Chains A and B, each alone.
Chain A
């Protein structure tokens, strides 16, 4: 069969570095013409929506005038970057991004494991209840940040429910949404509220793959629940934990645009303005604040750093014997 021979050819190709001759290539393409017809619109999609905009990266090295367009705007070399790095605003935004990200990653890796352990340890007699709580825990993940932000804003508003509780106990109402010291913890809590339940599912799946014989053997040896958890369950999910941690390193400079953009206000820009929100305001904010060149430069800075972070963590993971991601 033609299909078979080609697969074989490919396999030989790998072993002996056999190259297809032009003629063979031509006949292969004719033979499989439908594949090329089918992939064409998809390739076109990626070229138009992902690769065309990449041309726009040159904006980072230009002084952009909308009426001139990208091509005709004058080149300025590294001036945009130089200007950016001189701005105090840039360092503030960078610091906020890293701080918020580190907090999110730390909490977002530990809390789901705790939830998964608890669900895993719940007695089988409550299996129906287990299914119900899992549905409850994972549900907020499927709502948009617009909806969650609406609920959070309401809950922590000056006259909202949380202040209602404080008031009932005779305390003074707190302005959670406009005080830096409260706003950042609020970001962490709302993020966990939305994501942690869903993130625990993947650990639960991994835990369900543990051989029950291991637990039985441990029981015969007299291990208690805590010892079984520490010596069987936790070592089993360790590789997954490391893999997810590596994956999150690549996004350390994305501290959650959707969440912050829908929750923040100028009063907390000091602590909550991150790279992505700053890029947005530089691009489309109030006229005085906009600067397309700087915005693109900052975006490029973020992409490049993220890319190298990912490569780096992947290399480190492979060196320590874990499965890499690339």
Chain B
């Protein structure tokens, strides 16, 4: 049978198996409608926030429930784009994502590799030592004191070093390394490679899918993290984006001040514009990387 014929045969089989031949009943339409309503419930709050961010204050005050824009205004975005706070927040956040993920991956891969090797004496001891930290910690004040004594207060390092390894991500990578056939390692060793060479020349390329997934998890984590910076950073120019956003949203005292033209700004509009400013990168990238996140949860679910 030719390849094309095989494909056609397969398609036919799948067609029957998956129910293409079935007629759509009432239940099918009911399901479609329920799922659509739920999707609208997820989307509307974002849409409403967007409408508020491009509206005038009068439109907002007359009724915040809108289905389409009423009186357009770009002032909120003007305020946001000219705000030094948000811009420096963006730079700090990009810095922490790039450098942070690099450090995360190095630490995670090293730990994951060594802990997946049977010839590492003390594997069980180190594993247990790490597992315990999932369940037990010192608490807020001891952690705070530790960071202060390391001199990390108001240091960009506090955004990167204390979160260098996420234990769950590390275990994900470790389990993947563990499932790689021993022959691959042995072949590399016969060729005279040491462990560092084996790891980076053999294991890392093979494990690239899972490493990409873990890297994305770390990247989102860095983009969204706010509590560490909330505790340890009070210098304005070092605050990451989420912290700046939090101040705009939660602390009523701090705001971005008047619009560039000098009029008092429309607070709600500026809040919503800042939210869009902060989540836009995640929003744009997410549809393309969704499958990697889903793969992560599958691997984790099967192994853990």
Contact = CB atoms under 8 A, between A and B. Distances in A.
A binds B: yes
A179 interface: no
Interface string B247-281: 00110000000000000000010011011001100
B214 to A, nearest CB: 15
Contacts of A70: 142, 145
* Interface of B, helix, strand, loop or mixed by DSSP: helix
Interface in A46-71: 46, 48-57, 59, 64, 70
Contacts of B130: 46
B142 A7 contact: no
A139 interface: yes
Given A46-B129, A122-B35, A150-B245, A303 B135 contact: yes
A135 B138 contact: no
A280 B18 contact: no
Give the bracket for the number of chain A residues in contact with chain B.
35 or more
Contacts of B115: 39
B205 interface: no
Contacts of B142: 52-57, 59, 70, 296
A24 to B, nearest CB: 10
B135 A25 contact: no
Contacts of A280: 140
A306 to B, nearest CB: 7
B256 to A, nearest CB: 14
Given A50-B137, A53-B139, A57-B139, A151 B49 contact: yes
B22 interface: yes
A151 B275 contact: yes
B48 to A, nearest CB: 5
Contacts of B224: 142-144, 146-147
Nearest to A57: B138
Contact of B19 (A123, A168, A193, A250): A123
B144 interface: yes
A136 interface: yes
A212 B17 CA distance: 7
A165 interface: yes
13 contacts: A31-B119, A34-B195, A35-B120, A42-B107, A57-B138, A122-B28, A142-B224, A150-B49, A150-B274, A159-B64, A161-B64, A202-B301, A205-B301
